[in-house]
Structure 1
Amino acid sequence: MRNYIGLIHKDADSDYGVSFPDFPGLITAGINLDDARAMAEEALALHIEGLTEDGEAIPEPSTLEAVMADAENQDGVAILVGVKTEAKRAVRVNITLPEDVLKAIDAFAEAQGLTRSGFLVRAAKHEIGHAKDDPNDNYADTRLGA
């Protein structure tokens, strides 16, 4: 289990907001402190799951000292938000692709902010999911070992 710093913010006439300095843009909220904490755990878990599925790196948790040293974070109340991370073992593979396809993959991945591996993981999962969802795709049954 990893613990990340969440910062609770509360303005007058608002719910309790939670932001994560290690994951810019990830925010959630709850109607009370307990709800905010529960929502923070769920939001963080889903965000990390999405990063993992996209083949993106999961940042190491920052220290409380590092988070609170940033002037932007000093208005928040720091809490530890735990998340279970299943380390999926990455396996290096060697594949052969036509040069034009590789160039297209690299260009598309870069435009989307992905690595080549992240893009290929996303593309493979998309195709597998599509094949499983199409009842008329008999070829998918043989390809997926069904």
Structure 2
Amino acid sequence: MHYPIIVVPEPEQQAYTAVAPDIGEVASFGDSIEEALANLQEAVELYLEDAEEAPQPSKLEAVLEHEEVREHGGVVAFADLDLSFLDRKPVRLNVSLPSGLVKKIDEAARKRGMTRSGYLAWAADQAMARRQAEC
């Protein structure tokens, strides 16, 4: 979804701040405008982690009246933020695993008070987070 973003130069740090006024004033930083905008996706995901739905983008006229634009020299850009992570509707999958692994999964899930599906989703999420931290 395209959101208006305010990009503010930070001359003292030779950097830029990108602010998403429609998403809780979440901000990201970067040495270039491109880097500040790229970092915004992660900031938005962290901010909306437990949200039920995405906020609607403001009209451009409203964003142009924002303090960061009027008083701090910010300019308005549009960012296509990927909010697909908010779609938490379960999807049925057919997965083939060795029976011994399924038994281990079921045991681990039982110990955590989870269903098999819940445990597999949690484990996949944990593995992806570790992988991303390594990169």
TM (normalized to structure 2)?
0.56
Shift of 1:36: 1.3
Q: Aligned partners of 1:76 and 1:62: how far apart in 2?
A: 16
Partner amino acid, structure 1, of 2:69: N
Q: Secondary structure at the match of 1:22?
A: coil
Gap runs ≥5 in structure 2: 90-104, 120-135
Q: Aligned partners of 2:88 and 2:109: how far apart in 1?
A: 33
Q: Secondary structure at the match of 1:5?
A: strand
Find the counterpart in structure 2 of residue 80 from structure 1. 78
- Aligned Cα root-mean-square deviation (Å): 3.3
Find the counterpart in structure 2 of residue 115 from structure 1. none
Find the counterpart in structure 2 of residue 34 from structure 1. 34
Find the counterpart in structure 2 of residue 11 from structure 1. 10
Deviations 1:80-115 (A, max 9, x none): 11122336377xxxxxxxxxxxxxxxxxxxxxxxxx
Find the counterpart in structure 2 of residue 94 from structure 1. none
Residues 137 and 58 of structure 1: is their aligned pair in 2 closer, same or farther, counting only changes over 3 Å? same
Partner amino acid, structure 2, of 1:144: R
Find the counterpart in structure 2 of residue 102 from structure 1. none
TM (normalized to structure 1)?
0.52
Shift of 1:10: 1.4
Q: Aligned partners of 1:60 and 1:13: how far apart in 2?
A: 33
Residues 4 and 16 of structure 1: is their aligned pair in 2 closer, same or farther, counting only changes over 3 Å? same
CA contact (8 A) 2:16 2:36 kept: yes
Tell me the percent identity.
Answer: 23
Residues 7 and 72 of structure 1: is their aligned pair in 2 closer, same or farther, counting only changes over 3 Å? closer
Shift of 1:39: 1.1
Shift of 1:40: 1.9
Q: Aligned partners of 1:60 and 1:136: how far apart in 2?
A: 38
Partner amino acid, structure 2, of 1:73: V
CA contact (8 A) 1:28 1:39 kept: yes
State the number of aligned residues: 99
Deviations 1:44-85 (A, max 9, x none): 24433x0xxx24442101121111023443231111111223
Partner amino acid, structure 1, of 2:39: M
| From 108, 116, 122, the counterpart of 1:144 | 116
CA contact (8 A) 1:16 1:36 kept: yes
Gap runs ≥5 in structure 1: 91-131
CA contact (8 A) 1:18 1:29 kept: yes
